[in-house]
Amino acid sequence: MCAIFGIVGKYDPNEAKQAFDTLAHRGIDESRTIQKPRLFLGVHRLAITDIHTPSLQPIEEDGIFFLMNGEIYNYQAVAQQLDMAGQNDTRVAFSAYKKWGDAFVEHLRGMFAIAIIEKERVKLFRDPFGKKPLYYAQDNERVIFASELKAIFSLKPLRFDRDAILHYLSFQSPIAPHTFDKESRQAEAGSRVCIEVKTAALETKRYFSPLASPVVLDDETAAIEAIRKKLLESVALRMPSELACGALLSGGLDSSLIAAMASSHQKVSTFSIGYEGYAQYDERPYAAQVAAHIGSVHREISFGKEDFLQSIDEAIAILDEPLADPAMLPLYHLMKKIQTAGVKVVLTGDGSDELFLGYKPYQEYLDLEQAKALKYKNWLRNYFKSHYSDNKEWEWYKRIFEGSTLFRSSAEVFTDLQQNRLLRMNVRDNTSLKALAPYQEEFEASGRTSPADWYSFLDLKIQLGEVYLRKLDRMSMAHSVEARSPFLDQELIKAVFACDPQLRLRQMPKGWIKTIAKPYLPASIIERKKKGFSYPFMEWLQETGELQCIQRVQQKRKLFHEEKLQFLLKQGEQGMFKQHLFSLYMLCKWMEKNL
């Protein structure tokens, strides 16, 4: 685990070094650079494996330069295929590239961002689900790539892309390859980017899609067993061999199952967070019950208003772009405490809800899909268009009756019409579908038609890839902690998408995971009602006057229609539109700092 950085083309050595140093928080154990004419490469290392062995990176061999951020969990199996012995995962990945060329990533099971430079051609590879970030910018003189945008902004000014606001308000984050900078791009998950430095020619090619798995499992017992085996294998592969293992433990089913499975390999340290005085949000009692059951070394962390305010300022400094997930702030605080406890690797339960249809709105969407067959829906379409409402249910019915895409990811916050009424920009209805168009095309090309496949696939791409995994990477790496997510293993996900989607719908919500969890967890944890993550972030923003940040930006930039903005602020005082207001707050907080 580390940070990678490079400039291919013209550069100033001092400026390049300063840019590289902005990423030092991602790898505190060792740093190494290569400097040549028209080439500056650097790696900051966080030592997780071979911790007593000096870093090999960047690798320079046979005219090829190789840099990797991440972990290859199956590197020993790949080494056997290559007849190698006694090598680390970076060396194995490099040897795999030399043998198989660009197809080498198809042999890797892990999380990674890889850069390869060969004859002034830059190739960038990102893992199948976007766990590790990778950004790039190019002009007529150079190509820059980096694990975080701040390194690129150290070399060139941010050129604010106002259109990125639309992606952000729709989905809580810009959608790859777009960023808030007109000149910088993010490599897409499961893709390869190839850039010719001298001609600036650029090509992007996707190498992985979960939809490519053939549907071969139509028996529920066989499906559960296949998934159980892959999950156990995934957890085992992610257990650190040289360091203690930690696990985030909310007390919910997913994180509890991962922690329990990990505990069968070694004694695990578990960490949970709660909110004093807000029992309705606090799940620490459930986490403590699980910790006692699995025998973990358990730590409870408290998160209060002062921690919240401190985390905002520190997280804004870490984030290069706005991110609208309020869970990032307690996660940032929790990762700080995990670092203090001396734990470098933690397991998480991310991905289970998306794969096993655990979110309650999935059933609501499925019910609404039936309305497509209504005989007189054209009349209803006209009725809804002439009777606008800000409620999400109104938007859902409108989409069904007009024949547009209903489900646009669980990350969706502002609808297009809500944005049009709020922003002093002309936002046409269904503008958000432009960001989703590549995923719709990929889905249609796969031949799949089931809503179960669409919901899972899109949430893997948007909710997880662009929001949750971005949050997890930035908040953990800010404290040099590596987070590993066993549910997001490509072999496990292939097994899930190999299941008949009708079986997946019948097990909703997460019936298969509940079955798999029975030998590991108490029934009270398995069967307890899912509680969506929340905490008193809006109360704290209102009590401390932090929301005035939105008004300050509005006075300076006139970004919003004043009447609609005041409506949202008033509604927020009544406990409504919390996620909408948090999205606006983080956008304005970021704009105050960066523009």
**Pair 312, 546: CB distance under 8 Å:** yes
pLDDT(250) > 80: yes
Q: Which amino acid is at 460?
A: L
pLDDT of residue 1: 63
Whether residue 347 contacts residue 485, with contact meaning beta carbons closer than 8 Å, is answered with yes
Tell me the Cα Rg of the chain: 24
pLDDT-based confidence at 248, cuts 50/70/90? very high
CA 42 to chain centre: 24
Q: Is the pLDDT of residue 533 over 80?
A: no
Exposure letters 559-580 (e unless 16+ CB within 10 A, then b)? bbeeebbeebbeebeeeebbbb
User: What's the pLDDT tens digit per position in 72-118?
Assistant: 999 999 999 999 987 889 999 999 999 999 999 999 999 999 999 99
C-alpha–C-alpha distance, residues 419 and 413, integer Å? 10
The residue-averaged pLDDT of 409-425 equals 97
The two beta strands, 191-196 and 121-126, are: antiparallel
The count of C-alpha atoms lying within 13 angstroms of the C-alpha of 225, restricted to the half-sphere facing its C-beta, is 6
Q: Which residues of 62-95 are buried (b: 16+ CB within 10 A; e: fewer)?
A: eeebbbbbbbbbbbeebbeebeeeebbbbbbbbb
- 54 neighbors 73 (Cβ within 8 angstroms): no
Q: Which residues of 400-436 are buried (b: 16+ CB within 10 A; e: fewer)?
A: bbbeeebbbbbbbbbbbbbbbbbbeeebebbbbeebb
pLDDT tens column, 22-55: 999 999 999 999 999 999 999 999 887 766 677 7
Region 547-562 average pLDDT: 97
CB-count burial class (<10 Å; 0-12, 13-18, 19+) for 25: middle
CA torsion, points 407, 410, 562, 426, in degrees to nearest 10?
A: -40
Give pLDDT, residue 482.
96
Helix 451-459 × helix 490-497 angle, to 10°: 160
Confidence of residue 572 (pLDDT cuts 50, 70, 90): very high
Domains of the chain as residue ranges with CATH: 2-208 (3.60.20.10), 211-356+455-526 (3.40.50.620)
CB 358 within 8 A of CB 352: yes
User: How does DSSP classify residue 122?
Assistant: E
Percent of the chain with pLDDT over 90: 90
What b-and-e string marks burial along 228-258, b requiring 16 or more CB atoms within 10 Å of the CB?
A: bebbebbbebbbbeebebbbbbbbbbbbbbb
Residue 51, pLDDT score: 65
Q: 10 Å Cβ neighbour count for 8?
A: 23
More confident residue, 78 or 377: 78
Q: How confident is the model at residue 279 (pLDDT cuts 50, 70, 90)?
A: confident
Provide the strand spans (E) within 181-231: 184-186, 191-196, 202-206
Mean pLDDT (the chain, rounded):
95
All residues at 6 or more sequence positions from 370 whose CB lies less than 8 Å from its CB, including other chains: none
pLDDT by residue (tens digit) across 198-224? 999 999 999 999 999 999 999 999 999
Run of H or E residues at 6: strand 2-9
**Nearest 5°: phi and psi at 126?**
-120, 145
Structure confidence at residue 375 as a pLDDT band (50, 70, 90) = confident
Residues 149-207: pLDDT tens digits? 999 999 999 999 999 999 999 999 999 999 999 999 999 999 999 999 999 999 999 99
CA end-to-end distance (rounded Å), the chain:
31
Q: List the one residue out of 349, 363, 347, 353 whose CA is nearest residue 496.
A: 353
The pLDDT assigned to 135 comes to 98
pLDDT digits (tens, 9 = 90+) for 291-337: 999 999 999 999 999 999 999 999 999 999 999 999 999 999 999 99
